[in-house]
């Protein structure tokens, strides 16, 4: 199997590293070319990893082309032109988009590729940068089940749990709802802890109680002890991207006629924090903004 990977960002880079170790001749492309050059230089030369100068060059002759950009429209924008993905993708190959994308754009991309005999799967991932480094990501896949079986060995390079969610767009939808819950847990935990703190309760003690009770979540068990109490706030997943995800979840709910005031409020809070804190803040840094520390 010949594999190409495009988008060596925070999560894409460790995913690409696993692919390059598993498949010989893996090609990588990144918008900022120096990152792709540094990536290739860091791989085992025996694996023959190569840097592509254009998306078309990356895709040429590949069986599986994997993209991981901020939003689906970034993928769509790279399809056309002499350097675009469609100029390189061969009939019978598959484009697997690991972007946490939006269902409508994924469906448009899938239809365009289908017309040329190329498969498409939306396959966003969960597990964070640490999960990517440990090759332990959950991969939520939308699209044709037989196509997924063909590309499963590639996804298995970085994914531990690879789940077929339904037709094209359903991987995106599941991922967006998951991340909207993450956003709600972060906001709710921040509000509750601030109230307890002002009432004179030690937040570490409060978290310990919550984490042994029914209010616990990934936010209370991991993010708050490791990042908020310590004030470490490492930058692993940009707040701007979580804002985008909650917006997608809200859009999915609205399209399905679901009354979702919690999603709407979480989306509003993340949009406001994004505006106030800019593009580079981490998703957990909204806690500073909610506490009026930003």
Q: Contact positions toward ligand NDP, by CB under 6 A?
A: 7-12, 30-32, 35, 68-70, 74, 99-100, 125-126, 128-129, 236-238, 241
Q: Which is nearer to ligand NDP, 9 or 247 (CB)?
A: 9
Interstrand relation of 125-126 and 137-142 (parallel, antiparallel or unpaired): antiparallel
- Residues 106, 141: Cα–Cα separation, whole Å: 12
Q: Which is nearer to ligand NDP, 164 or 175 (CB)?
A: 175
Q: Tell me the two tokens of residue 183.
A: 């956003």
Q: Are 113 and 82 in contact (CB under 8 A)?
A: no
Q: Which is nearer to ligand NDP, 107 or 283 (CB)?
A: 283
What CA–CA distances, in Å, run from 41 to 25, 28, 46, 47, 70?
14, 12, 12, 11, 25
Q: Tell me the two tokens of residue 137.
A: 């990501």
Q: Which is nearer to ligand NDP, 11 or 193 (CB)?
A: 11
**Least distance (Å) from ligand NDP to the CB of residue 14?**
9
**Least distance (Å) from ligand NDP to the CB of residue 191?**
24
Classify residue 202 by burial, with Cβ atoms within 10 Å: 0-12, 13-18, 19+.
Answer: exposed
Q: Which residue has the tokens 């490492």?
A: 234
- Residues 16, 6: Cα–Cα separation, whole Å: 8
Q: Which is nearer to ligand NDP, 9 or 171 (CB)?
A: 9
Q: Which is nearer to ligand NDP, 32 or 268 (CB)?
A: 32
**Least distance (Å) from ligand NDP to the CB of residue 51?**
13
**Least distance (Å) from ligand NDP to the CB of residue 244?**
7
- Residues 251, 254: Cα–Cα separation, whole Å: 5
Q: Pick from 126, 116, 113, 115: which is nearest to 76 by CA? A: 113
- For ligand NDP, which residue has the nearest CB? 9
Nearby residues of 200 by Cβ (< 8 Å), 6 or more positions away: none
**Least distance (Å) from ligand NDP to the CB of residue 199?**
33
**Least distance (Å) from ligand NDP to the CB of residue 140?**
10
Identify the bridge partners of residue 94 per DSSP, sorted by sequence position.
64, 119
Catalytic annotation, pick one of 175, 231, 244, 288: 175
What CA–CA distances, in Å, run from 93 to 132, 157, 258?
24, 18, 37
Q: Is position 288 annotated as part of the catalytic site?
A: no
Residue 26, helix vs strand vs coil: coil
Write out the catalytic residue numbers. 175
């Amino acid at each position: 199997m010949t594999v190409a990977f495009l988008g060596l960002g925070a999560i894409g880079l460790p995913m690409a590293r696993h692919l390059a170790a598993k498949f010989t001749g893996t090609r990588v492309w990144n918008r900022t070319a120096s990152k792709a050059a540094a990536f290739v230089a860091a791989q085992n030369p025996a694996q023959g990893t190569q840097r592509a100068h254009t998306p078309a060059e990356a895709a040429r002759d590949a069986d599986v082309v994997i993209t991981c950009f901020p939003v689906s429209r970034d993928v769509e924008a790279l399809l056309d032109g002499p350097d675009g993905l469609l100029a390189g993708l061969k009939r019978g190959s598959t484009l697997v988009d690991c972007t946490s994308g939006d269902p409508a754009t994924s469906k448009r991309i899938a239809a365009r590729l289908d017309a040329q005999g190329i498969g498409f799967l939306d396959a966003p991932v969960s597990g964070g940068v640490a999960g990517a480094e440990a090759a332990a990501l959950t991969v939520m896949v939308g699209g044709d089940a037989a196509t997924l079986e063909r590309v499963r060995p590639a996804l298995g390079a970085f994914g531990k749990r690879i789940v077929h969610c339904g037709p094209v767009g359903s991987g995106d939808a599941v991922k967006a709802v998951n991340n909207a819950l993450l956003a709600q847990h972060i906001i709710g935990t921040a509000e509750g802890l601030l109230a307890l703190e002002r009432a004179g309760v030690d937040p570490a003690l409060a978290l310990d109680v919550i984490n042994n009770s029914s209010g616990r979540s990934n936010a209370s068990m991991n993010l708050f002890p490791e990042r908020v109490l310590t004030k470490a706030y490492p930058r692993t997943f940009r707040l701007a991207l979580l804002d985008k995800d909650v917006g997608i979840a809200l859009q999915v709910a609205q399209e399905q006629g679901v009354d979702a005031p919690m999603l709407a409020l979480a989306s509003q809070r993340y949009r406001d924090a994004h505006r106030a804190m800019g593009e580079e803040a981490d998703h957990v840094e909204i806690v500073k903004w909610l506490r009026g520390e930003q």
